[in-house]
Chains A and B, each alone.
Chain A
Amino acid sequence: MLSVSKINFERYFAPVFQPVSFTLEAGGLLLVTGANGCGKTTLIRVLAGILHPTSGEFSSRTGSMAYVGHHLGIKDDLSVVENLRFMRDFLGTSNRSSEEVMKEVGLTRVSEQLARTLSAGQRKRCALARLLLSNTQLWLLDEPYSNLDQEGVELVDKMLLKHLEAGGACVLATHGAHRPNWQQTENYELISGVAA
Protein backbone atom coordinates (compact mmCIF):
# COMPACT_ATOMS: atom_id res chain seq x y z
CA MET A 1 0.00 0.00 0.00
CA LEU A 2 2.82 2.35 0.79
CA SER A 3 6.39 1.72 -0.17
CA VAL A 4 9.15 4.28 0.17
CA SER A 5 12.80 4.17 -0.70
CA LYS A 6 15.49 6.31 0.90
CA ILE A 7 13.23 9.22 1.71
CA ASN A 8 15.26 12.19 2.81
CA PHE A 9 14.09 15.61 3.86
CA GLU A 10 16.41 18.53 4.47
CA ARG A 11 15.94 21.70 6.42
CA TYR A 12 18.65 24.34 6.31
CA PHE A 13 20.55 21.96 4.03
CA ALA A 14 20.85 19.34 6.74
CA PRO A 15 18.86 16.10 6.76
CA VAL A 16 16.20 15.98 9.43
CA PHE A 17 16.35 12.20 9.73
CA GLN A 18 18.44 9.40 8.34
CA PRO A 19 17.07 8.10 5.01
CA VAL A 20 13.89 6.12 5.46
CA SER A 21 12.86 3.03 3.54
CA PHE A 22 10.00 0.70 4.29
CA THR A 23 7.11 -1.19 2.79
CA LEU A 24 3.69 -1.16 4.35
CA GLU A 25 1.10 -3.71 3.31
CA ALA A 26 -2.64 -3.60 3.72
CA GLY A 27 -3.57 -4.50 7.27
CA GLY A 28 -0.16 -3.46 8.55
CA LEU A 29 0.79 -0.97 11.21
CA LEU A 30 4.13 0.82 11.06
CA LEU A 31 5.03 2.15 14.45
CA VAL A 32 7.54 4.98 14.15
CA THR A 33 9.43 5.71 17.31
CA GLY A 34 12.45 7.77 18.13
CA ALA A 35 13.87 10.41 20.38
CA ASN A 36 12.38 13.86 20.63
CA GLY A 37 13.28 15.98 17.65
CA CYS A 38 14.36 13.07 15.47
CA GLY A 39 11.88 14.09 12.83
CA LYS A 40 8.82 11.89 13.34
CA THR A 41 6.41 14.70 12.59
CA THR A 42 8.41 15.71 9.53
CA LEU A 43 8.38 12.14 8.24
CA ILE A 44 4.64 11.83 8.67
CA ARG A 45 4.14 15.09 6.83
CA VAL A 46 6.35 13.92 4.00
CA LEU A 47 4.33 10.71 3.76
CA ALA A 48 1.14 12.77 3.77
CA GLY A 49 2.35 14.78 0.81
CA ILE A 50 2.37 18.08 2.65
CA LEU A 51 6.15 18.17 2.40
CA HIS A 52 8.09 17.26 -0.68
CA PRO A 53 11.05 14.96 -0.02
CA THR A 54 14.47 16.35 -0.88
CA SER A 55 15.43 12.98 -2.35
CA GLY A 56 14.16 9.45 -2.41
CA GLU A 57 11.00 8.12 -3.91
CA PHE A 58 7.62 6.59 -3.28
CA SER A 59 7.81 3.26 -5.05
CA SER A 60 4.13 2.78 -4.47
CA ARG A 61 1.44 4.85 -2.92
CA THR A 62 -2.02 3.52 -3.49
CA GLY A 63 -5.23 4.58 -1.93
CA SER A 64 -6.26 7.72 -0.22
CA MET A 65 -4.87 9.03 3.04
CA ALA A 66 -6.10 10.58 6.23
CA TYR A 67 -3.85 12.48 8.61
CA VAL A 68 -4.22 13.54 12.19
CA GLY A 69 -1.30 15.57 13.38
CA HIS A 70 -0.27 18.03 15.97
CA HIS A 71 -2.52 20.70 14.49
CA LEU A 72 -5.89 19.07 14.81
CA GLY A 73 -7.60 20.59 11.83
CA ILE A 74 -10.82 21.55 13.52
CA LYS A 75 -12.36 24.99 13.65
CA ASP A 76 -12.58 26.54 17.09
CA ASP A 77 -15.54 28.68 16.14
CA LEU A 78 -17.66 25.76 15.03
CA SER A 79 -19.43 23.26 17.24
CA VAL A 80 -18.50 19.60 17.25
CA VAL A 81 -21.40 18.58 15.07
CA GLU A 82 -20.76 21.50 12.69
CA ASN A 83 -17.13 20.47 12.39
CA LEU A 84 -18.06 16.88 11.67
CA ARG A 85 -20.79 17.79 9.23
CA PHE A 86 -18.36 19.99 7.34
CA MET A 87 -15.73 17.25 7.23
CA ARG A 88 -18.31 14.83 5.93
CA ASP A 89 -19.63 17.19 3.25
CA PHE A 90 -16.21 18.35 2.25
CA LEU A 91 -14.54 14.97 2.01
CA GLY A 92 -17.61 13.48 0.43
CA THR A 93 -16.45 9.90 0.81
CA SER A 94 -18.30 8.70 3.85
CA ASN A 95 -21.51 6.78 4.09
CA ARG A 96 -21.75 7.20 7.83
CA SER A 97 -23.66 10.02 9.39
CA SER A 98 -21.87 12.57 11.51
CA GLU A 99 -24.12 11.67 14.46
CA GLU A 100 -23.04 8.07 14.24
CA VAL A 101 -19.36 9.00 14.15
CA MET A 102 -19.82 11.46 16.99
CA LYS A 103 -21.28 8.64 19.07
CA GLU A 104 -18.35 6.38 18.27
CA VAL A 105 -15.79 8.93 19.47
CA GLY A 106 -17.89 9.73 22.52
CA LEU A 107 -18.71 13.38 21.85
CA THR A 108 -22.49 13.20 21.64
CA ARG A 109 -22.86 14.93 24.95
CA VAL A 110 -20.95 18.01 23.80
CA SER A 111 -22.16 18.00 20.21
CA GLU A 112 -23.46 21.56 20.24
CA GLN A 113 -20.50 23.05 22.06
CA LEU A 114 -17.99 25.19 20.22
CA ALA A 115 -14.69 23.38 19.75
CA ARG A 116 -12.93 26.18 21.54
CA THR A 117 -14.68 25.30 24.79
CA LEU A 118 -13.73 21.64 24.73
CA SER A 119 -10.94 20.03 26.68
CA ALA A 120 -7.78 18.97 24.89
CA GLY A 121 -8.88 15.36 24.97
CA GLN A 122 -12.28 16.15 23.52
CA ARG A 123 -10.71 18.19 20.75
CA LYS A 124 -8.47 15.26 19.97
CA ARG A 125 -11.47 12.98 19.69
CA CYS A 126 -13.10 15.44 17.32
CA ALA A 127 -10.01 15.37 15.14
CA LEU A 128 -9.92 11.58 15.27
CA ALA A 129 -13.51 11.49 14.07
CA ARG A 130 -12.18 12.67 10.75
CA LEU A 131 -10.54 9.28 10.30
CA LEU A 132 -13.94 7.64 10.48
CA LEU A 133 -15.50 10.13 8.11
CA SER A 134 -12.76 10.04 5.52
CA ASN A 135 -13.17 6.39 4.52
CA THR A 136 -9.54 6.11 3.48
CA GLN A 137 -7.16 3.20 3.43
CA LEU A 138 -4.02 4.75 4.81
CA TRP A 139 -3.98 6.51 8.15
CA LEU A 140 -1.09 8.73 9.14
CA LEU A 141 -1.17 9.44 12.84
CA ASP A 142 1.21 11.72 14.65
CA GLU A 143 0.99 11.28 18.44
CA PRO A 144 -2.63 10.12 18.39
CA TYR A 145 -2.56 9.23 22.08
CA SER A 146 -1.50 12.65 23.33
CA ASN A 147 -3.99 14.49 25.54
CA LEU A 148 -6.21 11.43 25.82
CA ASP A 149 -7.35 9.72 28.99
CA GLN A 150 -7.32 5.93 29.36
CA GLU A 151 -10.72 5.69 27.72
CA GLY A 152 -9.50 7.81 24.83
CA VAL A 153 -6.39 5.66 24.37
CA GLU A 154 -8.57 2.58 24.24
CA LEU A 155 -10.79 4.29 21.69
CA VAL A 156 -7.86 4.95 19.40
CA ASP A 157 -6.71 1.36 19.69
CA LYS A 158 -10.20 0.11 18.98
CA MET A 159 -10.54 2.33 15.90
CA LEU A 160 -7.09 1.34 14.73
CA LEU A 161 -7.66 -2.38 15.08
CA LYS A 162 -10.97 -2.18 13.27
CA HIS A 163 -9.29 -0.22 10.47
CA LEU A 164 -6.45 -2.70 10.11
CA GLU A 165 -8.78 -5.67 10.13
CA ALA A 166 -10.81 -4.09 7.35
CA GLY A 167 -7.69 -3.98 5.19
CA GLY A 168 -6.47 -0.50 5.98
CA ALA A 169 -2.93 0.41 6.94
CA CYS A 170 -1.44 2.93 9.31
CA VAL A 171 1.77 4.75 10.03
CA LEU A 172 1.77 5.81 13.65
CA ALA A 173 4.40 8.02 15.19
CA THR A 174 4.63 8.18 18.93
CA HIS A 175 7.19 8.74 21.63
CA GLY A 176 4.86 8.01 24.49
CA ALA A 177 4.75 5.00 26.73
CA HIS A 178 1.73 3.46 25.07
CA ARG A 179 2.55 1.59 21.93
CA PRO A 180 0.25 -0.86 20.20
CA ASN A 181 2.04 -4.16 20.04
CA TRP A 182 -0.10 -6.34 17.89
CA GLN A 183 0.75 -8.99 15.38
CA GLN A 184 0.48 -6.55 12.52
CA THR A 185 2.82 -4.06 14.14
CA GLU A 186 6.19 -3.39 12.64
CA ASN A 187 8.53 -1.18 14.61
CA TYR A 188 10.63 1.47 12.95
CA GLU A 189 13.12 3.49 14.88
CA LEU A 190 13.68 6.87 13.29
CA ILE A 191 17.16 8.29 13.70
CA SER A 192 17.87 11.97 13.69
CA GLY A 193 19.82 13.27 10.73
CA VAL A 194 22.10 15.43 12.78
CA ALA A 195 25.58 13.93 12.64
CA ALA A 196 27.18 13.16 15.98
Chain B
Amino acid sequence: MTIEASIDAGGAASTGIEAGAGSMNKAFFALLRRDLLLAFRRRTELLFPVIFLLVVISLFPLGIGPSPQLLARIAPGVIWIAALLATVISLDGLFRSDFEDGTLEQFVLSGHPLTLIALAKIVAHWLVAGLPLVLLSPLLAIWMNLPLDSLGVMIVTLALGTPILSLIGSIGVGLTISLKRGGQLLSLLVFPLYVPILIIATAAVMAASDGLPYTAFLGLLVAGLITSLTLAPFAAAAALKISLS
Protein backbone atom coordinates (compact mmCIF):
# COMPACT_ATOMS: atom_id res chain seq x y z
CA MET B 1 0.00 0.00 0.00
CA THR B 2 2.85 2.31 0.80
CA ILE B 3 4.52 1.46 -2.52
CA GLU B 4 1.42 2.33 -4.47
CA ALA B 5 1.12 5.56 -2.58
CA SER B 6 4.64 6.61 -3.44
CA ILE B 7 4.32 5.64 -7.10
CA ASP B 8 1.25 7.81 -7.39
CA ALA B 9 2.11 11.28 -8.62
CA GLY B 10 2.58 13.28 -5.49
CA GLY B 11 1.66 10.07 -3.69
CA ALA B 12 2.33 10.74 -0.09
CA ALA B 13 1.60 14.40 -0.59
CA SER B 14 -1.88 13.76 -1.94
CA THR B 15 -2.80 11.38 0.82
CA GLY B 16 -1.31 13.97 3.08
CA ILE B 17 -3.39 16.76 1.64
CA GLU B 18 -6.74 15.05 1.89
CA ALA B 19 -5.75 14.01 5.33
CA GLY B 20 -4.53 17.58 5.79
CA ALA B 21 -7.45 19.95 6.11
CA GLY B 22 -9.87 17.63 7.83
CA SER B 23 -7.29 16.02 10.00
CA MET B 24 -5.98 19.36 11.26
CA ASN B 25 -9.41 20.04 12.66
CA LYS B 26 -9.59 16.56 14.10
CA ALA B 27 -6.11 16.88 15.55
CA PHE B 28 -6.98 20.20 17.20
CA PHE B 29 -9.95 18.73 19.03
CA ALA B 30 -8.16 15.48 19.79
CA LEU B 31 -5.44 17.50 21.50
CA LEU B 32 -7.93 19.71 23.30
CA ARG B 33 -9.76 16.65 24.59
CA ARG B 34 -6.51 15.02 25.60
CA ASP B 35 -5.34 18.04 27.58
CA LEU B 36 -8.67 18.35 29.36
CA LEU B 37 -8.54 14.64 30.17
CA LEU B 38 -4.99 15.00 31.50
CA ALA B 39 -6.02 17.98 33.61
CA PHE B 40 -8.91 15.97 34.98
CA ARG B 41 -6.55 13.13 35.89
CA ARG B 42 -4.64 15.58 38.05
CA ARG B 43 -7.60 17.53 39.22
CA THR B 44 -6.29 18.21 42.71
CA GLU B 45 -3.47 20.17 41.14
CA LEU B 46 -6.01 22.41 39.46
CA LEU B 47 -6.93 23.79 42.83
CA PHE B 48 -3.50 25.22 43.59
CA PRO B 49 -3.83 28.40 41.54
CA VAL B 50 -7.35 28.89 42.88
CA ILE B 51 -6.23 28.56 46.46
CA PHE B 52 -3.29 30.81 45.70
CA LEU B 53 -5.69 33.43 44.38
CA LEU B 54 -7.82 33.29 47.50
CA VAL B 55 -4.82 33.50 49.79
CA VAL B 56 -3.31 36.45 47.95
CA ILE B 57 -6.55 38.40 47.99
CA SER B 58 -6.99 37.83 51.69
CA LEU B 59 -3.50 39.20 52.32
CA PHE B 60 -4.57 42.63 51.22
CA PRO B 61 -7.04 43.40 53.98
CA LEU B 62 -4.58 41.82 56.38
CA GLY B 63 -1.78 44.04 55.17
CA ILE B 64 -3.65 47.25 54.52
CA GLY B 65 -6.43 47.17 57.03
CA PRO B 66 -10.04 46.14 56.58
CA SER B 67 -11.53 49.59 56.04
CA PRO B 68 -14.35 48.97 53.55
CA GLN B 69 -13.86 52.25 51.69
CA LEU B 70 -10.15 51.62 51.23
CA LEU B 71 -10.74 48.07 50.04
CA ALA B 72 -13.42 49.25 47.62
CA ARG B 73 -11.03 51.77 46.14
CA ILE B 74 -8.26 49.28 45.52
CA ALA B 75 -10.52 46.32 44.68
CA PRO B 76 -10.28 46.41 40.88
CA GLY B 77 -6.50 46.62 40.92
CA VAL B 78 -6.06 44.04 43.64
CA ILE B 79 -8.34 41.48 42.03
CA TRP B 80 -6.67 41.95 38.68
CA ILE B 81 -3.15 41.75 40.09
CA ALA B 82 -4.09 38.58 41.92
CA ALA B 83 -5.43 37.21 38.63
CA LEU B 84 -2.09 38.03 36.96
CA LEU B 85 -0.15 36.27 39.67
CA ALA B 86 -2.40 33.22 39.65
CA THR B 87 -2.12 32.98 35.85
CA VAL B 88 1.67 33.14 35.88
CA ILE B 89 1.80 30.41 38.49
CA SER B 90 -0.43 28.12 36.48
CA LEU B 91 1.29 28.82 33.17
CA ASP B 92 4.27 26.60 33.74
CA GLY B 93 2.13 23.52 33.38
CA LEU B 94 1.09 24.60 29.92
CA PHE B 95 3.94 22.99 28.00
CA ARG B 96 6.16 21.43 30.62
CA SER B 97 4.74 17.95 30.70
CA ASP B 98 4.74 17.61 26.92
CA PHE B 99 8.22 19.04 26.74
CA GLU B 100 9.64 16.62 29.26
CA ASP B 101 8.11 13.39 28.01
CA GLY B 102 8.85 13.99 24.36
CA THR B 103 5.26 14.54 23.26
CA LEU B 104 6.11 18.06 22.10
CA GLU B 105 8.75 16.76 19.69
CA GLN B 106 6.15 14.44 18.27
CA PHE B 107 3.86 17.37 17.68
CA VAL B 108 6.60 19.10 15.70
CA LEU B 109 7.05 15.98 13.61
CA SER B 110 3.38 15.36 13.07
CA GLY B 111 3.12 17.72 10.16
CA HIS B 112 0.39 19.70 11.83
CA PRO B 113 1.24 23.37 12.29
CA LEU B 114 2.71 23.93 15.71
CA THR B 115 0.74 27.18 15.90
CA LEU B 116 -2.52 25.26 15.94
CA ILE B 117 -1.16 22.86 18.50
CA ALA B 118 -0.12 25.73 20.75
CA LEU B 119 -3.58 27.27 20.39
CA ALA B 120 -5.30 24.02 21.35
CA LYS B 121 -3.16 23.74 24.46
CA ILE B 122 -3.72 27.37 25.40
CA VAL B 123 -7.48 26.97 25.06
CA ALA B 124 -7.38 23.87 27.27
CA HIS B 125 -5.20 25.72 29.75
CA TRP B 126 -7.58 28.65 29.96
CA LEU B 127 -10.58 26.41 30.44
CA VAL B 128 -8.82 24.76 33.32
CA ALA B 129 -6.90 27.67 34.90
CA GLY B 130 -8.42 30.91 33.63
CA LEU B 131 -12.11 30.17 33.72
CA PRO B 132 -12.04 29.36 37.46
CA LEU B 133 -10.68 32.85 38.08
CA VAL B 134 -13.62 34.35 36.22
CA LEU B 135 -16.06 32.17 38.13
CA LEU B 136 -14.48 33.03 41.47
CA SER B 137 -14.59 36.77 40.88
CA PRO B 138 -17.94 37.38 42.60
CA LEU B 139 -16.47 35.94 45.79
CA LEU B 140 -13.38 38.10 45.43
CA ALA B 141 -15.57 41.11 44.75
CA ILE B 142 -17.43 40.55 47.97
CA TRP B 143 -14.22 40.13 49.92
CA MET B 144 -12.77 43.31 48.52
CA ASN B 145 -16.00 45.22 48.87
CA LEU B 146 -16.16 45.96 45.17
CA PRO B 147 -19.25 48.07 44.42
CA LEU B 148 -21.79 45.63 43.08
CA ASP B 149 -22.76 47.70 40.05
CA SER B 150 -19.26 47.21 38.71
CA LEU B 151 -19.24 43.47 39.37
CA GLY B 152 -20.66 42.73 35.92
CA VAL B 153 -17.90 44.74 34.26
CA MET B 154 -15.31 43.05 36.46
CA ILE B 155 -16.49 39.63 35.33
CA VAL B 156 -16.45 40.71 31.69
CA THR B 157 -12.94 42.14 31.96
CA LEU B 158 -11.75 38.91 33.52
CA ALA B 159 -13.54 36.82 30.90
CA LEU B 160 -11.93 38.83 28.12
CA GLY B 161 -8.62 39.47 29.84
CA THR B 162 -7.65 36.08 31.27
CA PRO B 163 -7.50 34.47 27.81
CA ILE B 164 -5.19 37.30 26.74
CA LEU B 165 -3.05 36.57 29.79
CA SER B 166 -2.90 32.88 28.83
CA LEU B 167 -2.08 33.71 25.22
CA ILE B 168 0.68 36.20 25.91
CA GLY B 169 1.95 34.12 28.80
CA SER B 170 2.30 31.10 26.54
CA ILE B 171 5.05 32.92 24.64
CA GLY B 172 7.01 33.36 27.85
CA VAL B 173 6.43 29.74 28.80
CA GLY B 174 7.61 28.60 25.39
CA LEU B 175 10.86 30.49 25.85
CA THR B 176 11.57 29.32 29.39
CA ILE B 177 10.33 25.75 29.21
CA SER B 178 13.79 24.28 28.74
CA LEU B 179 15.14 26.02 31.84
CA LYS B 180 15.13 24.30 35.19
CA ARG B 181 13.98 27.36 37.11
CA GLY B 182 12.02 28.73 34.21
CA GLY B 183 9.14 29.76 36.40
CA GLN B 184 11.06 32.53 38.13
CA LEU B 185 12.25 34.08 34.93
CA LEU B 186 8.78 33.70 33.45
CA SER B 187 7.33 36.37 35.74
CA LEU B 188 9.98 38.89 34.74
CA LEU B 189 9.40 38.21 31.06
CA VAL B 190 5.66 38.29 31.13
CA PHE B 191 4.64 41.01 33.60
CA PRO B 192 5.81 43.96 31.44
CA LEU B 193 3.69 42.54 28.62
CA TYR B 194 0.72 42.34 30.97
CA VAL B 195 0.85 46.03 31.87
CA PRO B 196 -1.55 47.25 29.15
CA ILE B 197 -4.16 44.62 30.02
CA LEU B 198 -3.97 45.54 33.68
CA ILE B 199 -4.33 49.23 32.93
CA ILE B 200 -7.28 48.85 30.58
CA ALA B 201 -9.16 46.27 32.62
CA THR B 202 -8.89 48.19 35.88
CA ALA B 203 -9.79 51.41 34.08
CA ALA B 204 -12.97 49.75 32.84
CA VAL B 205 -13.99 48.58 36.29
CA MET B 206 -13.18 51.89 37.94
CA ALA B 207 -15.13 53.77 35.28
CA ALA B 208 -18.10 51.50 35.93
CA SER B 209 -17.87 52.15 39.68
CA ASP B 210 -17.83 55.89 39.06
CA GLY B 211 -20.77 55.65 36.71
CA LEU B 212 -18.66 56.70 33.75
CA PRO B 213 -18.74 55.10 30.28
CA TYR B 214 -16.66 51.94 30.13
CA THR B 215 -17.52 50.31 26.81
CA ALA B 216 -14.49 51.81 25.07
CA PHE B 217 -12.23 49.94 27.50
CA LEU B 218 -14.09 46.71 26.92
CA GLY B 219 -13.77 47.27 23.19
CA LEU B 220 -10.02 47.56 23.61
CA LEU B 221 -9.99 44.29 25.52
CA VAL B 222 -11.90 42.59 22.72
CA ALA B 223 -9.40 43.98 20.21
CA GLY B 224 -6.57 42.76 22.39
CA LEU B 225 -8.12 39.31 22.58
CA ILE B 226 -8.54 39.04 18.83
CA THR B 227 -5.00 40.27 18.19
CA SER B 228 -3.42 37.91 20.67
CA LEU B 229 -5.54 35.00 19.39
CA THR B 230 -4.03 35.49 15.97
CA LEU B 231 -0.46 36.41 16.88
CA ALA B 232 0.40 34.77 20.19
CA PRO B 233 0.15 31.08 19.20
CA PHE B 234 2.50 31.77 16.31
CA ALA B 235 5.08 33.34 18.62
CA ALA B 236 4.59 30.57 21.18
CA ALA B 237 5.20 27.95 18.48
CA ALA B 238 8.41 29.73 17.43
CA ALA B 239 9.48 29.86 21.07
CA LEU B 240 8.83 26.14 21.49
CA LYS B 241 10.89 25.30 18.41
CA ILE B 242 13.77 27.29 19.86
CA SER B 243 13.42 25.58 23.22
CA LEU B 244 13.48 22.16 21.62
CA SER B 245 16.79 22.83 19.90
Contacts and interface: CB of A to CB of B under 8 A. Distances in A.
Interface residues of A, number: 36
A125 B222 CA distance: 47
Given A50-B244, A167-B6, A90 B105 contact: no
A139 to B, nearest CB: 11
B102 A89 contact: no
Q: Which residue of A76, A91, A130 has the most chain B CB atoms within 10 A of its CB atom?
A: A91
Nearest to B99: A71
B30 A86 contact: yes
Nearest to B39: A77
A63 B109 contact: no
A13 to B, nearest CB: 15
A92 B23 CA distance: 6
B37 A69 contact: no
Contact of A69 (B2, B34, B102): B102
A130 to B, nearest CB: 7
Contacts of B110: 90-91
Contacts of A167: 2-3, 6
B16 interface: yes
A66 B244 CA distance: 17
Interface string A99-142: 00000000000000000000000000000001000010100000
A81 interface: no
Would you call the interface of chain B mostly helix, strand, loop, or mixed? helix
A62 interface: yes
Given A50-B109, A93-B23, A166-B3, A63 B12 contact: yes
Contact of B106 (A52, A63, A67): A67
A64 interface: yes
Contacts of A78: 34, 37-38, 41
List the 7 closest A-B pairs by CB distance, nearest first.
A71-B102, A92-B23, A89-B30, A167-B3, A73-B102, A73-B106, A77-B41
Given A75-B38, A93-B19, 13 more contacts: A45-B105, A62-B12, A63-B12, A67-B105, A67-B106, A77-B38, A91-B23, A92-B23, A92-B27, A93-B23, A137-B6, A167-B2, A168-B2
19 contacts: A49-B108, A51-B244, A62-B12, A66-B109, A67-B109, A73-B101, A74-B102, A75-B103, A78-B34, A89-B27, A90-B30, A90-B34, A91-B110, A92-B26, A92-B27, A93-B15, A137-B2, A137-B6, A137-B12
